[in-house]
Structure 1
Amino acid sequence: MQDFKHYPNYELFKNKTILSIDFGEKVIGLATFTPGREPYPISRGRIINSGLEHFFKEIAQIIEDDFVEVIIFGIAYLTDGTETDKTRELKSICDAVREKFQDVLVIEQDETLTTVTAKERMLNSAEYNFTVDPKKIDEVSAIIILEDFIRKI
């Protein structure tokens, strides 16, 4: 397992519960991490994407249940950093999350290629029986988004 203690964001967000969101068209993957209390990010499950109203309701419940103070919202770009229509749509949703949950710090995080990385991680891990489980890809992507955020310098 990765030791996150040596990264600046670990200290900056120490003892704050962080929720990461991998917002997909069909499924929204979630992960949480509380630096200083937990050794690494863990899956928080997934939400079937049936519209923003349902998404906001589910996220509000998680914020309340887990005492979330920070949301890391994954935004996908092309590999050269170019924004696409999907990028702009995700930024708009992120802004809506920021507006809806004003007591929570909402931060955008580049999630380019996290799905590819999630599949590779699953294929190389006994935890996933060395197979890609389509029902867990979004959750693993959310974990990777959160790990990348903590590692960011």
Structure 2
Amino acid sequence: MNFENFPNYTKFLNKTILAVDYGTKVTGLGIFTPGRDPYPMPFGKIIYKSDDQIICDIKSIIDDELVEVIVLGLPLYTDGNESDMTEKVKKFSEEFLKTLDGVELYLQDETLTSYEAAERMKNSPRYNFKVDMREIDALAASIILEDFIKNEIA
């Protein structure tokens, strides 16, 4: 898939973007620099201990990778309604935003990204055509980032 024709590709050209699939057990990460990378890639995971620890770990990645944009997955029901987890992510984003200096933060609907990640794994030799639960959160984060690049920011 060529991402160059999507709305946010040009807007974020040469800016390193980190996608965060926040979870209370595992937080998945994806990364992409439009103009340098061919497409968003999984970038590992963080095992959850506390929100402060997640923020600290992500800030370390921001410094190491020179991240300029954070895309945080927002979990919604398929009908667009919010869940308890939606509220947790919004609260986390507010706390996280207070710690960011010069880094943009966007929320991106993450509906069905874990399902999509599982489907991709089942169809990929990279994952031996099996769902790998150790990798699913990072792959879901890269899909959140794909969706972000494909859509216009409101």
Number of aligned residue pairs: 152
Whether 2:23 is the aligned partner of 1:4: answer no
Shift of 1:71: 0.1
Shift of 1:24: 1.2
- Counterpart of 1:120 in structure 2 is 119
Length-normalised TM-score, structure 2: 0.96
| Cα distance between partner residues in 2 of 1:16 and 1:50 | 29
Shift of 1:60: 1.1
Length-normalised TM-score, structure 1: 0.97
Unaligned ranges ≥5, structure 1: none
- Counterpart of 1:102 in structure 2 is 101
| Cα distance between partner residues in 1 of 2:44 and 2:83 | 27
* Post-superposition CA distance 1:91-148 (Å, at most 9, x none): 1111111111132100000001111111001001111110000000100100000000
- Counterpart of 1:15 in structure 2 is 14
| Cα distance between partner residues in 2 of 1:94 and 1:112 | 17
Report the identity percentage: 47
3-state secondary structure, aligned to 1:31: strand
- Counterpart of 2:90 in structure 1 is 91
- Counterpart of 1:40 in structure 2 is 39
| Cα distance between partner residues in 2 of 1:68 and 1:149 | 16
What is the root-mean-square deviation in Å for CA atoms of aligned residues?
A: 0.8
